[in-house]
Every structure is written in structure tokens, then in C-alpha cells.
Amino acid sequence: MESGEVMSDKLTFQDNLDYLEEIVDKLESGETTLEESLELYKKGIIALEKCNEKIDMVEKEIQIIHNER
């Protein structure tokens, strides 16, 4: 996924994680302007939030399964 693409709720956890890693690589390269870095940072926060939401959802499902036993 290119860093200019809009994040979608339909992306998988792995897609969001890969996108976040791409953003980190670009930021660490030092080849982005301040403005580009800020935009990448914002997109990275969104990707991170999506990853955390998915992790929370899976943890809840595991807890439900565990409680049913």
C-alpha cells in the first residue's frame, strides 16, 4: 500500500501492520520533508489504532471462548 492511500476498515490486521512498517521505514529514511513526515505520522497513528482495535476484538473473542469452557 502506498503511503498516499486512504486507510480502509476493510484492511486486514496484516495489511495495517505492513502499512505501518512502510511508514516507519519512510520516516526513518530521513528523506521526507517536515510536512510529509507529519502526514505519514498521522496515517501511522490511524494504522496503529486499527491494529489495536483488531487486537482488542480478538482478545475479547478469546476471553469469551475461554469463559465458555
Tell me, yes or no, if the pTM score tops 0.85. Answer: no
Q: Does residue 9 sit in helix, strand or coil?
A: coil
Q: 44: burial class by Cβ within 10 Å (0-12, 13-18, 19+)?
A: buried
Confidence (pLDDT) at 2 = 55
Q: What separation, in Å, do the N-terminal and C-terminal C-alpha atoms of the chain show? A: 40
CA 20 to chain centre: 5
Per-residue pLDDT of the chain (69 residues; tens, 9 = 90+): 654 455 556 899 999 999 999 999 999 999 999 999 999 999 999 999 999 999 999 999 999 999 988
Whether 3 contacts 22, CB under 8 Å: yes
Residue-range domain boundaries for the chain: 13-68
